[in-house]
Amino acid sequence: MSGFRDLNIYNKAYALAIKVHHASLKMPKFELYEQGSQIRRSSKSIKDTIAEGYGRRRYHADYVKFLVFAQASCDECRNQCDMISELYPNIDDFKSISEEFDILGKMINKFIQSIESR
């Protein structure tokens, strides 16, 4: 493995951050800087935290800690998607994005387990 860009969890998180960004721009104008900004920031933090943790992989405990932070941000995004889906049912994107965050969370969890078992 040559870098964090080779990690499936990073690539999935990156793709989801792009989807969230575009979907959030469909929200009402008054939400662009409230709920929209929050979900954009939290979705981008997942990929960033995975990358930062990878940079600390020499320090096993730090690596796991950053992956746990990424998983927590993933849970936050799933929660945000569920709220947006309920508030704005006309924006279909967030229901499927929520399901993708669920999958990403499971992927991160399995990755943490594999790191911990080494």
Instruction: Tell me what pLDDT residue 118 has.
Output: 83
- Which CB contacts under 8 angstroms, 24+ apart, belong to 24-28? 26/91, 26/93, 27/84, 27/88, 27/91, 28/88
Q: What does the pLDDT read at residue 2?
A: 80
Q: What is the pLDDT of residues 59-89, one digit of tens each?
A: 999 999 999 999 999 999 999 999 999 999 9
Name the residue ranges covered by the structural domains of the chain.
4-116
By CB atoms closer than 10 A (0-12, 13-18, 19+), residue 101 is buried
Give dist(CA 92, CA 90) in Å, integer.
Answer: 6
pLDDT along the chain (118 residues), means of 10: 92 98 95 94 98 94 97 97 95 95 98 93
CATH 3.20.20.70 fits 4-116, yes or no: no
46: tokens are 């997942």
The pLDDT value recorded for residue 1 is 62
